[in-house]
Amino acid sequence: MTLNRPRNTSSGVGRTSTGNGRSEGITPEQIAAINDLFAVHAKLGLLDQKTTIHHNLKGIQRFLEGIPGSTDKLEWYAPDGEDYDITRTDCEAKIVGCEFEDGELKDLVISKVHKPIIRRRTAEGKTRILQPALVEVTKRTENIEKEASNEPTKDD
Amino acid sequence: MSQRKTIDFGIDLGTTNSAIAKFNKGEVEVFSNPKDYGRSTLPSVVGFRKTSIFVGTKAKEYAVKDPGNVKSLFKRKMGTTETLQVPAIKKSLTPIELSSLVVKELKNFVHTGEIVDSVIITIPSAFNTQQSQATMQAGLEAGIKEVVLLQEPIAASLAYANSTGGDDLPNGYWIVYDLGGGTFDVALLRSEDGDVRVVDHEGDNYLGGADFDDLIVQKLFVPAIESEGTFDDLKGSLVQASGSRNGDYETLLVKAEQVKINLSTATSTEIDIFGITDDEDEDLDFELTVTRSEFESLIQETVDLTSKLLKQLLVQNNLQPSDVNFALMVGGSTFIPYVRQRISEVLQVEVKHSVDPTTAIAIGAAYYAGSKQASENADSNSSTKEKAALSWKLVYEKATRDESSPILIKVLDGYEKGFSCRIFREDGGFDSGWVELKQKMDFDLPIGARTYNVFKIEVQDSTGDQVAVNEGEVHINSGVTVAGQPLPDDISLEVDDLDTGLTKLQPLFRKNTILPVSTSIRRPVTKSIAAGELDGFRFRIVEGPSENPVAANNTVGYWELAGKELAKDVLKGSDIDLEIEIDESRIITIRAYLAMSDQSFEKSFSLTMVDLKPSVLIEDAEAFNTTLAKELENHTDSIEFRAIEKRASELQWEIGQLTDDDVRDEKQKLANELGSLVSDFHAATKEGTVIKAKREYHERKQACQEIVQEHGTEQEHKFLREILAEEEGVLNSQSLSLITQATESLTNLYYEIVWRTPGFLRSYCEFLKNSRDEFVDQIQGQALLKATEDAVDDEDWDRTAALIGKLIDLLPSDKQADAERIVGF
């Protein structure tokens, strides 16, 4: 049994599989640009919310959502504040500062998102994950929930 | 009025002779040595007494009296950690320190009273990054504030082209053959309407006139001396620093050089050998006659090596000798008639020696210096640093072949109504007259053909008083210009190879790319680094063919970024952005941005030396011989491999004979030869590697065709067709990287499908169930395994695949074929 890894997880990091069914028409640069745009949104979230730069970013976002030669769309999403457990496959997590009861990973929450979940959505509404989110996870407390809910997402 | 300051000074820091020249408004002056009867070159020799240091001809003469305290040929050791012992001052000096003494002496040639703050120093085009940086350091240690490097063939071309005003420079290819005292360079250049570009070059940093001197000593003097007296190991006693006759060796080298010079004009010459005592304390004193034909047969092999490199240069550029217009000969060793004759025979084109081979490089360096702006920090000469009342920005082309050239003036500060300005050419060829100054205005400047055009711009106020401006001169060269200097070899970055667990090279810049140059790349981090830990990222930049294995290339930059420098943990899968730039003097700078910790780091690779300990060389040679032995098991009948093996084992023996205090260049030479042998071996196995890569391609293609046929979507069928449509071109290209890339595309397609194939996922799940005891975290492992089994039951194959990926991460690293990550990206 060879231990090759699935290509669309961060375990298979660094492997790009452009041109196949899942990511046809999408270049690694487009995915990288989406990650950059996501980071810009996150950083701007710390600044004055009234800034009109969001309008300019929206234009870039519309461009990146499109897939040349296809009616499919790309969408991305930050799962901030959502519950996390080890079996979530749309996130690659780093678990920080948790003491576990009975050795179990319970009551975990996504506290920070470094890369969003990127999905390809077909005209029929079917979605497939192109990139799992890269997240930090911690024990759920009220503070963290509040903090997480203040983090900007694509829809902000 | 402040002047536009160009570097202006050019230095040829040669292995055996050096020179300094200055550009001044289109003309170049070679400064002569005030202490040496106006000689225009300075022997690159430094002599030491207890209380004094002397450089040049005097030092050379002193070598006969006290050879141990006279140092020469140290350019050949630049970029290494070797030091040269100087008993008189009880110190060991580096090649950089010795070279800086030569540069300091050259500065004294400048009789104009100017301070040499900025300078162009030339280097052989085959100089690697360490050697280049060592040369720059020598200039800085000589008190020069700004040193810009220039490759010698470019300097020679500029000297020649400017000496003819470009009239004699037909469009097309030409050759610069530069055989100096210590190095050999051959460059292929192309000129087009006065613009000169270095297309490619070859060279050998350990081949030059000094080798001819050494050959005369070893092959003619030593046998003659042995026949005149009684000696047990004459050669050993001469060449080793601890040898009893090491002083005589220096004396004999000086005599050999004289023989060589004499034989350039005479067909035979006599030399007196005296002052040597044999093992029985007998003083020897005899006359030796050396003929030109004896000398020519001695140097034939070395000269043939230069013509081999010349032919190789043409072949690798798909050129015939007849495609070359002419060859320009520079470097002191091209005075040797045999060298001129051989190159003329090989090329069958005109061989020109119209520029003085000894000063051509310095002259060319000065021409280049005249076109390079000095940095503001390095300018000590502008005594008139009065504050400008009016500052403007002048935009124009610094070099043009057009009859006129536009200039745009944009006033930035100090503008007043009523100001007027006037622009005129210094040779009287143009005068705009006084015109009203506007905040933005332009002129069309008529350009004098094939010359250096100097325009002056003046401003006066409404009362006619002159107004000081920040920039008052415009220099436009309509002579010959060079496109910049090319990289001597590929520059690559070591990155993790995800398929093998080893590392591989990612090319950054290709050979002959014109400097300065920069690139940026983004790579995913391949291992998580916790803040505070010692493990981290490794940045290794190498110089050499990017197809080579990492270890075969020359490391020019090495930097480790440890976890303790990180503000927070950096996870596998996050991004690292790298910007890499190389400036004109080959200083490499890396900027790394870690997205996850939101931190930027910058590192410039300053002087990094090659430590050439014989023990390191022995290890290298042994390792190479082991690799060779393995390869030979599959190629027992290969004559080429047998030849490489023979030379490799000879080399291993020769390296084993080296002593730590060997004063000759043997260590460096043997290291270089070993390096070329490894490259030859790589080239020889390349064919086999390509065949292997093609076999892998066909195997992967068959597997891919089968799985696409059975499980592929319409898009995957289309993608496979696209890959196969390129097949003929890819396989016929014989390019390893193209074939590997195509195989990788097929592999990716194969795994994309296989990782959603129920049979494969079910069997993988079974395998992991059987390995459950090995999970490094049992709680996570059991939870994930349960989830995986549920996903299989639900036939949710995307989820199954993703969960299996997480389970693989929980297996011990030795179970994960590609788990080892070395570099970190």
Query: What is the tens place of the pLDDT at every residue in B3-23?
Result: 547 899 999 999 999 999 999
- d(CA B14, CA B30) in angstroms, rounded, equals 15
CB-based contact B525 A13, cutoff 8 Å? yes
Q: Is the pLDDT of residue B765 over 70?
A: yes
Query: What is the tens place of the pLDDT at every residue in B115-164?
Result: 899 999 999 888 888 888 899 999 999 999 999 999 888 899 888 888 77
**B339: which 2 tokens?**
């060298």
Do the beta carbons of residue B273 and residue B284 sit within 8 Å? yes
CATH superfamily for B386-482 is Immunoglobulins (2.60.40.10)
Query: What is the tens place of the pLDDT at every residue in B375-419?
Result: 866 666 555 455 788 999 999 887 777 889 999 999 999 999 899
Q: Does the pTM of the predicted model rise above 0.80?
A: no
Among A68-72, A99-103, B247-251, B305-309, the range with the most confident prediction by mean pLDDT is B305-309
The Cα of A152 is separated from the nearest Cα of chain B by a number of Å equal to 17
Give the max Cα distance, chain B: 101
- d(CA A123, CA B645) in angstroms, rounded, equals 64
Give the single-character DSSP code of B3: P
Number of Cβ within a 10 Å radius of residue B759: 9
CB-based contact B752 A20, cutoff 8 Å? yes
* Distance separating the N- and C-terminal Cα atoms of chain A: 46
Query: What is the tens place of the pLDDT at every residue in A1-56?
Result: 445 555 554 444 434 344 444 566 788 889 999 999 999 988 887 666 666 787 88
Helix-helix angle B95-107:B129-141, to 10 degrees: 50
Would you call A70 an interface residue with chain B, using a CB distance cutoff of 8 Å? no
Average pLDDT across chain A, whole number: 76
Query: What is the tens place of the pLDDT at every residue in B677-733?
Result: 877 787 777 777 788 889 999 999 999 999 999 988 888 898 899 999 999 988 887
At the second CATH level, the architecture of B491-605 is: Sandwich (2.60)
Domain B9-208+301-371 is in which class? alpha beta
Number of Cβ within a 10 Å radius of residue A144: 16
Segments making up each domain of chain A, as ranges: 10-150
CA angle, residues B286, B287, B292, in degrees to nearest 5: 150
Contacts of A128 in chain B (CB under 8 A): 798
DSSP chain A: ------TTSGGGTT---TTSTTTTT--HHHHHHHHHHHHHHHHHTTS-TT-THHHHHHHHHHHHHB-TT-S-EEEEE--TT-EE-TT-SSEEEEE-S---GGG---SEEEEEEEE-EEEEE-TTS-EEEEE-EEEEEEE--HHHHHHHHHS--TT-
CB-based contact B803 A92, cutoff 8 Å? no
Do the beta carbons of residue B478 and residue B167 sit within 8 Å? no
Q: Which residues is B553 bridged to in the sheet? A: none
CA nearest B570 in A: which residue? A94
- d(CA B607, CA B439) in angstroms, rounded, equals 47
H or E, element range at B392: strand B391-395
Q: Which strand ranges, in their side-by-side order, compose the sheet holding B599-605? A: B517-524, B575-582, B588-594, B599-605
Q: Is the pLDDT of residue B501 over 90?
A: no
* B790: nearest Cα among B765, B754, B756: B765
CB-based contact A21 B767, cutoff 8 Å? no
Would you call B741 an interface residue with chain A, using a CB distance cutoff of 8 Å? no
- d(CA B673, CA B670) in angstroms, rounded, equals 5
Query: What is the tens place of the pLDDT at every residue in B263-313?
Result: 999 999 999 988 888 888 888 889 999 999 999 999 999 999 999 999 999
Number of Cβ within a 10 Å radius of residue B567: 11
- d(CA B78, CA B95) in angstroms, rounded, equals 6
Q: Measuring CA to CA, how many Å separate A140 from each of A92, A107, A136?
A: 18, 6, 12
Q: Is the pLDDT of residue B520 over 50?
A: yes
Segments making up each domain of chain B, as ranges: 9-208+301-371, 386-482, 491-605, 614-751, 755-815
Q: Which strand ranges, in their side-by-side order, compose the sheet holding A133-139? A: A83-84, A108-115, A133-139, A91-95
Please give the pLDDT value at position B458. Answer: 92
Please give the pLDDT value at position A14. Answer: 39
Give mean pLDDT, residues B365-374. Answer: 87
- d(CA B147, CA B583) in angstroms, rounded, equals 12
Q: Which residues is B289 bridged to in the sheet? A: B270
Q: Which of B30-39, B271-280, B808-817 is least confident?
A: B808-817
